[in-house]
Amino acid sequence: MRRGPFREGDRVQITDPRGKPSTITLRADGSFQTHRGYFRHTDLIGASEGTVVETSAGVAYLALRPLLSDHVLSMPRGAAVIYPKDSAQIISMADIYPGARVVEAGVGSGALTMSLLRAVGDAGSLLSIERREDFAVIATGNVEAFFGSSHPAWELEVGDLADVLPTAREAGSVDRIVLDMLAPWENIEVAADALAPGGVLLAYVATTTQLSRFAEDLKADGRFTEPLASETMLREWHLEGLAVRPSHRMVAHTGFLVTTRRMAPGVEAPLRRRRPAKSTATEDAEALEALARDAARVQIGDDWTPEDLGERGITGKKARRAGRHAEALREAAAGGRDAEEDAGDERHADETGNPEPAPRA
């Protein structure tokens, strides 16, 4: 991420007096046009972060470089992004540290990838595996646009985790694995082989059905500690004089995080034993039987689609459009080119503001 005065090709977040942000890519002949007047990009080129620039109508805009969270919520995307609140929890709960050897599967638009790269640093390594080539193109553009060039710790492979990981990493050489996919239980075997003893496996899943299936399969596998599950809800507060209250809107459920650790080879995990109350023992047994019957009726695996989990399907056309825009931003960050010339009239065009991303299921 660049420091110092704004330069041509920089992405700048400008915020109006009401707190609404917009992101622009600076160019020598560019201008920012609104119903509140306009200003030229040359008013910002050479200025420091934290500058206030006024439009021709006298409306003041605060100019800052976007933070990682700002970039994630405004960047081109094909798949729904992992929200910053969940990325922060993943970095903490999976204990991603400088120099760590990390593998992520399910790159999507690259939101989590950028947080992981920041955490492992130049001395670490991150192998990202994505099944869809069009998503890989979008992720590459977004990551390189944010860092200004390719990151020395990053490798991106297109394919299935079960096919790529065994050939890309030696058995027992991976410190952390992060899964963001529909059926993470299908990759318990390959994850167990790749992780070093004590290594962390973390899965991000959207529904309780996925959560339950993954947790139970981990317990049945025997090579992992008992899984822990959590979710994070974020609520901002309104601060204005004495009117201090919770905001009316919040980012509530986006997904569950399931974490577990690899046992030493040949050692079976001592799973926790809980003694149910006598009054609930029969009810619990009946509930488990009902869950088993439901699971038997639901075909789980390759037949699952994002639509089954309540997510919006991503069309190839939308993914290609986002890929072109991400590539344009990457080239602008690397060489000061005008991203808008290549991006065209896109939904995510920089100067139209930051559309709020659709929540995950």
**Where does the pLDDT of residue 346 fall: very low under 50, low under 70, confident under 90, or very high at 90 and above?**
very low
Q: Domains plus CATH for the chain? A: 1-66 (3.10.330.20), 71-271+303-309 (3.40.50.150)
pLDDT of residue 75: 86
pLDDT above 50 for 338: no
pTM for this model (two decimals):
0.76
Q: What is the pLDDT of residues 106-158, one digit of tens each?
A: 999 999 999 999 999 999 999 999 999 999 999 999 999 888 889 999 999 99
The two structure tokens encoding residue 304: 């699952």
Q: Kindly report, residue by residue over 67-82, the tens digit of the pLDDT.
A: 999 989 888 887 788 9
The pLDDT score that the predictor gives to residue 330 is 75
- Percent above pLDDT 90 for the chain: 63
264-285 tens-digit pLDDT: 999 988 867 666 555 555 566 6
CA-CA distances (angstroms) from residue 9 to 91, 148, 189, 255?
A: 30, 10, 45, 35
Rg over CA atoms, the chain: 23
Mean pLDDT of all residues in the chain? 85
> Which structure tokens are listed for 129?
């595996």
What is the per-residue DSSP string for 219-283?
HHH-SBPPPEEE---B--EEEETTEEEE-S--B----EEEEEEBPPTT-----------HHHHHH
Q: For the chain, how long is the longest CA-to-CA vector?
A: 76
Confidence of residue 319 (pLDDT cuts 50, 70, 90): confident
Regarding beta strands 228-230 and 237-240, do their DSSP bridges make them parallel or antiparallel, or are they unpaired? Answer: unpaired
pLDDT by residue (tens digit) across 292-308? 555 555 444 445 666 66
Whether residue 54 is predicted with pLDDT greater than 50 in this model: the reply is: yes
Question: Among 11-25, 86-100, 158-172, 311-325, whose mean pLDDT is lowest?
Answer: 311-325
Quick one: average pLDDT of 170-187? 97
Inform me whether the pLDDT recorded for 253 exceeds 60. Answer: yes
Give the Cβ contact number of residue 150 at 10 Å: 13
Looking at residue 331, what is its pLDDT? 74
d(CA 134, CA 132): 6
Residue 44 pLDDT grade (very low, low, confident, very high; cuts 50, 70, 90):
very high
